[in-house]
Amino acid sequence: MSAWWSNGVRFGCQPLCGKCCDQPGGVVFLTTSDINRMADFHELSFREFIEQHCTKSMNGRVILKSNEKSGICIFLNETKQCSIYTVRPQQCKAYPWWAENLRNEHKWNETKVLCPGIDADDAIIIDGKTIRMHVLADREASKGFRI
């Protein structure tokens, strides 16, 4: 049986939104490619980037640091924009196409409460092949890595 979303889903990320990032306690697992991309962007070495901008999850995977007071990603700026958008981590690129959000239509409707891009007036149909690509990319990124 094919997934409920296999014929496509309406979505269009909304400019100046940033609600998906503006979540205290969010955890972003990173791949080594994510680190390389973000380190290059900041003109840092792989290890320097980890020392300055990363911490570890409970089970030792490398994750992005959050702001100590707000608990929100350190790269979300005052205007709620991602300051590293062009090199953002794979997990961030894959949102809202995370397996947990797509598990069933009920979960998707819950995701819709957070994400105004789902069924937005200017949304376009994202085809099932593209959605699957994001789901797999998120699954891979979620494995993370340890140092």
Which of 16-24, 53-61, 65-73, 139-147 is the region at the interface with ligand SF4 (rule: CB under 6 A)?
A: 16-24
CB atoms within 10 A of CB 45: 13
Taking the least distance from each CB to ligand SF4, the nearer of 62 and 118 is 118
Binding window for ligand SF4 (CB under 6 A); candidates: 27-35, 37-45, 98-106, 108-116: 108-116
> Is the CB of 48 or the CB of 122 nearer to ligand SF4?
122
Total length of the chain: 147
Q: Does 96 bind ligand SF4 (CB under 6 A)?
A: yes
Q: Which stretch binds ligand SF4 (CB under 6 A): 65-73, 109-117, 123-131, 136-144?
A: 109-117
DSSP string of 97-145, one letter each residue: --HHHHSSHHHHHHHHHH-TTBT-TT-EEEPHHHHHHHHHHHHHHHH--
Q: Which stretch binds ligand SF4 (CB under 6 A): 35-43, 100-108, 113-121, 133-141?
A: 113-121
Interface with ligand SF4 (CB under 6 A), residue total 12
Three-state SS string over 34-67 comes to: HHHHHHHHCCCCHHHHHHHHEEECCCCCEEECEC
Whole-angstrom distance, CA of residue 114 vs CA of residue 111:
5
Tokens of 66: 């959050």
Instruction: Please report whether residue 80 would count as binding ligand SF4 according to CB under 6 A.
Output: no
Residues 117-146 that bind ligand SF4 (CB under 6 A): 117
Applying CB under 6 A, the residues found at the interface with ligand SF4 are: 13-14, 17-20, 95-96, 114-117
